[in-house]
Amino acid sequence: MITVKELTKRYARTTAVDQISFEVAKGQIVGFLGPNGAGKTTTMRMLTCFLPPSAGTAKVAGFDVLEQPLEVKRRIGYLPEMPPLYPEMETAEYLKFVGKLKGLSGADLRKRVDYVCDRCAVADVRQKLLGKLSKGYRQRVGLAQAIIHNPAVLILDEPTAGLDPKQINETRDLIKDLAGEHTIILSTHILPEVEQTCEQVIIINKGKLVATDSVRNLQARARGAESVLVEIAGRNGALEVPIVQQKLEQISGVSRVLCKQQVDSRAVFEVESQKGRLVRGDVARTVVQSGWDLNELRPAAMSLEEIFLQLTEQESTEAQKESPASKESQK
């Protein structure tokens, strides 16, 4: 449905999006993930034909964003970060206006307005001025506006930003609900959101693609080796980290032991084991038998958050190594 090839957006001094390529299949929900300023909004704006790309191509439903923007726009519903509302319009009037802009008219238009009002739960504010709506309603009217012409592709830029937890849940449910009919790209920097709503993740950082995979694969990738976090304290105010490390490494099944942090006589170790070997019991026994206190022992399953941090940090440290000079000049 969406094919992006080496899409690039350069400004005078910065490159906001740098040669991103990905594909989205029909009917998928894709989470577009990245820290603030990573280039999510810019990429979305290029997909919606709001910004022309500097290089590369993007196709939506087979139409190029540069060559046939009108065809692309007909097939896209877009909710920008700030819902594009006219404060002096009433909800129904606004939805009618947007519907007309997207090419609807007559009975069709009335039917769609009724439908999206129902669907996005804004029917009870139909006659209210948009400027007086609460944040949650504004967001939902924005969503209603995006789906009014029943577009094949929905592009949502941080659809849950600034909502309260209840509204966030409602919005997520609504988006999941819409997924059957539309192909959805939604951007966010909130990770649980992606885990809960999306099937596929595209992670970008500083304009570059870091990873693109299904949520399950990413989690599996991170859990490739099982690891446990162990917090150990020395009995009489001292703890020899190398000795602990050595002892833990001697346990059968343990492949690697890392000291993650140390404060006085307490230290946290990450004990990685070979796949399928449970070493927790042995670790606990070894620690106690060696005369140390076992303060904590928990599995270190990587959340998407850690994967994300890991991936984005890796990327930036590599970049620093490559060209410290060019980074300086960018600042």
Partner 1 sequence: MRNTWIICRKELDSYFVSWIAYVLLTLFAAAFGFFFWTLVTVFVVEGMEMQMRGQMYPMNLNEQIIRPLLMNVSVIGLFMIPLITMRLFAEEKRNGTIELLATSPIRDLEIIIGKWLAALILYSSLLLLTALNLAFLFRYGNPDWKPLAIAYLGLLLQAGALLAIGAFISTLTKNQIIAGAATFVVCLLLYVFGWVEGFETSTWAHVLAYTSVATHFDSFARGVIDSKDAIFYLTVIFLGLFFTARSMESLRWRS
Per the CB < 8 A criterion, the answer to whether 267 and 232 are in contact is: yes
CA distance 80 to 113: 20
CA distance 158 to 33: 10
Kindly state the smallest distance separating residue 177's Cβ from partner 1, in Å. Answer: 23
Contact between 78 and partner 1 (CB under 8 A)? yes
Contact between 100 and partner 1 (CB under 8 A)? yes
Contact between 74 and partner 1 (CB under 8 A)? yes
Of 106 and 180, nearer to partner 1 (C-beta) is 106
The one-letter amino acid at 227 = S
Contact between 182 and partner 1 (CB under 8 A)? no
Identify the burial level of 313 via C-beta atoms within 10 angstroms of its C-beta, where 0-12 means exposed, 13-18 middle and 19 or more buried. exposed
The piece of 28-36, 97-105, 166-174, 243-251 that touches partner 1 (CB under 8 A) is: 97-105
Best CA proximity match to 278, nearest among 304, 251, 257, 249: 251
Per the CB < 8 A criterion, the answer to whether 24 and 1 are in contact is: yes
What sections of the chain are H helices per DSSP?
40-47, 69-74, 91-101, 106-119, 135-147, 165-178, 191-197, 215-222, 241-249, 280-289, 304-322, 324-330
Contact between 48 and partner 1 (CB under 8 A)? yes
Tell me which residues in 195-214 interact with partner 1 (CB under 8 A). Answer: none
CA distance 18 to 16: 7
Contact between 192 and partner 1 (CB under 8 A)? no
Contact between 103 and partner 1 (CB under 8 A)? yes
Taking CB under 8 A as the criterion, the residue among 70, 107, 263, 325 binding partner 1 is 70
Kindly state the smallest distance separating residue 48's Cβ from partner 1, in Å. Answer: 4
Contact between 59 and partner 1 (CB under 8 A)? no
Contact between 86 and partner 1 (CB under 8 A)? yes
- Which tokens sit at 302? 């990587």
DSSP string across 286-307: HHHHTT-EEEEEEE-PPPHHHH
Contact between 51 and partner 1 (CB under 8 A)? yes
The contact pattern for partner 1, residues 141-160, with x = CB under 8 A and - = no contact, is: ----x---------------
Contact between 184 and partner 1 (CB under 8 A)? no
Kindly state the smallest distance separating residue 20's Cβ from partner 1, in Å. Answer: 19
Kindly state the smallest distance separating residue 37's Cβ from partner 1, in Å. Answer: 15
Contact between 258 and partner 1 (CB under 8 A)? no
Contact between 49 and partner 1 (CB under 8 A)? yes
Taking CB under 8 A as the criterion, the residue among 62, 67, 84, 310 binding partner 1 is 84
CA distance 170 to 4: 30
Contact between 52 and partner 1 (CB under 8 A)? yes
Note the maximum CA span of the chain: 83
Residues forming contacts to partner 1 in the complex (CB under 8 A) are 11, 45, 48-52, 70-71, 73-74, 76, 78, 80, 82-89, 93, 97-98, 100-103, 145
